Amino acid sequence: MIAPIEATGLGKRFGRTWALDDCSIRVPAGKIAGLVGPNGAGKTTFLHLAAGLLRPTAGEITVFGRSPQGQLLLLLDRVGFVAQDTPLYSGFSVGDMLRFGRELNRRWDQADVEERLRSLDIPFDKRVGQLSGGQRSQVALALALGKHPELLLLDEPVARLDPLARREFMQRLTEAVAEEGSTVLLSSHVMADLERVCDYLIIIAAGRVQVAGEIEALLASHHLIVGPRLNANARLSGVELVKAQHTERQSSLWIRGPVPELGAGWREEPLPLEELVITYLSAPRAVTLPRPQLEEAAS
């Protein structure tokens, strides 16, 4: 099956800085994938490359097997994009924005979009500039959903929203994609936004993919073990260490793979997803995993 997004050795350079470097990512079909990383990690760059807004400097990216740069017209009907800060024409009324979507898209479900906005009590005659942040992002989401996209890309859609609006946005998003069975790639620098809705996670830092996989599999394969203080240079055999932290009296080890035989005084502690993500993000250079998702794909 053709993956909604497949990137191989993808790189993008702006001036002298590589915003994205040697990224290999495969977003599986039908999943809600989270793209998480700190500000400036390359999330926006990756989404823009997938949406055909940018051209890669190195490597390649395909969306449904086609290049978003060379064959964009074939993809525009199938890919929805909600850009960072949910840009809309602030002088337009909500109704004008809907007409904008209708005029510029061959595939467009006006009734569906109207219904979506009506259920949120967003008045059509109100100017976009006068909407609340939550309403604005709902309008942007409704617009992107208007063409029933098979792939929906969202760049930090809730970053500026209050917690209530965040929850409502995510709820609408998950409802909509559950109906349609679309694939979603959603970026955020706040893990809590993604945890509830995503079933696939891509952690990206400093332009590189740290880890990618099903959330359940990630949780099952990572462990935090805590025990008496180890020598900082101690070598651990048979353990893939993600991060080690030593206080005066104890050592904490974040490991990937099966939990080794634990000696006296060692115990396993729960490792919630958010902490797992932070672990990877706080050690961006220590670990760069070699394309686990591509190996999976080959098998």
Side chain identity at 139, as an amino acid letter? V
Contact status, residue 69 vs residue 55, Cβ threshold 8 Å:
yes
Q: Does 106 bind other proteins (CB under 8 A)?
A: yes
- Check binding of 46 to other proteins (CB under 8 A): no
Please give the Cα distance from 71 to 28 (Å, whole number): 21
Residue recorded with tokens 């602030």: 90
Site for other proteins in 14-33 (CB under 8 A): none
For residues 65, 218, 289, 170, the Cα torsion angle rounded to the nearest 10 degrees is 50
2-5: list long-range contacts, CB under 8 Å, 24+ apart.
2/64, 2/65, 3/27, 3/28, 3/29, 3/62, 3/65, 3/297, 4/28, 4/29, 4/63, 4/64, 4/150, 4/151, 4/183, 4/185, 5/50, 5/61, 5/62, 5/63, 5/151, 5/183, 5/185
Task: Report the distance separating Cα 8 and Cα 42, nearest Å.
Answer: 15
Of 93-101, 173-181, 192-200, 283-291, the segment contacting other proteins by CB under 8 A is 93-101
Beta strands in 176-235 (DSSP E): 183-188, 200-205, 208-214, 222-228
For residue 285 the two structure tokens come to 């250079």
Q: State yes or no: residue 54 binds other proteins (CB under 8 A).
A: yes
Q: Which of 17, 65, 70, 89 binds other proteins (CB under 8 A)?
A: 89
Stretch that binds other proteins, among 28-36, 51-59, 130-138, 209-217 (CB under 8 A): 51-59
48 is a contact residue toward other proteins (CB under 8 A): yes
Q: Which is nearer to other proteins, 108 or 266 (CB)?
A: 108
CB nearer to other proteins: give 146 or 213. Answer: 146
If one asks whether residue 100 binds other proteins (CB under 8 A), the answer comes out as yes
Q: Is 90 in the site for other proteins (CB under 8 A)?
A: yes
By CB under 8 A, what part of segment 116-175 binds other proteins?
140, 143, 147
Region from 69-77, 168-176, 247-255, 274-282 binding other proteins, contact rule CB under 8 A:
69-77
Judged by CB, which is closer to other proteins: 74, or 294?
A: 74
Question: Quick check: 92 binds other proteins (CB under 8 A)?
Answer: yes
Distance CA 47, CA 170 (A): 19
Closest approach, Cβ 80 to other proteins, in A, equals 8
Contact 13, 57 (CB under 8 A): yes
The verdict on 101 binding other proteins (CB under 8 A) reads yes
Using the contact rule CB under 8 A, the part of the chain among 3-11, 79-87, 210-218, 241-249 near other proteins is: 79-87
Binding of other proteins at residue 73 (CB under 8 A)? yes
- Please state the closest distance from residue 17 (CB atom) to other proteins, in A: 14
Instruction: By CB under 8 A, name the binding residues for other proteins.
Output: 48, 51-55, 72-73, 76-77, 79-81, 83-85, 87-90, 92, 96, 99-101, 103-108, 140, 143, 147
